[in-house]
Amino acid sequence: VWAAGENNTILHWSGAGWMPAAQDIEPGSFALNALWESSTNDLWAAGVGGRLWHWQGTRWGAVDAPAGLESFNALWGAASGDVWAVGGSGGSFHYDGTSWTAVPTGVTQPLFGLWGSGPQDVWAAGGARQFGGGSNALGVQGPQRMAGCVIAGAPVWANSV
């Protein structure tokens, strides 16, 4: 189990207690808003200032994030080479295993939640608008394409049926 928060804090549950796990992350007083793990050797952390870090089993490494995003608010992935990040001003980015690429959303409100059932079914929510996936992962705007209910401004959660 991993936890993240203010003052670039990342903690890992050892089975007996919480242990600091962010010694490799630059010092500062910024918040980490999101974590996503595909395996014990593959964990992403993201937060304020558009900062991204990747844990590869032994240490955290800073990752060049796409320019122009003031904050990452949520992470979700279908696999280690298929990770999504959303944040301020409707920013959405996809990692393909090699690099992060901006994906237009058509919204300008901050996005705060991500959920998916697979690589072609990814949903995001936030601000005053929402958009959803289906075969166009994160590419179709509007509730008319949503199979379920996503409440704007709340975390995204769903159960595959």
Residue 68 has which token pair?
């122009």
At 77 the pLDDT is: 93
Report the SS3 class of residue 57.
coil
The yes-or-no verdict on residue 25 having pLDDT over 80 is no
Tell me what the mean pLDDT of segment 31-55 comes to: 88
Mean pLDDT value of segment 70-99 = 90
Q: Rounded CA gap, 109 and 127, in Å?
A: 5
Provide the pLDDT for residue 97: 92
DSSP 12-30: EE-SSSEEE--TTSPPSS-
Alpha-carbon span 121 to 8, nearest angstrom:
31
Q: What is the reported pLDDT for 19?
A: 84
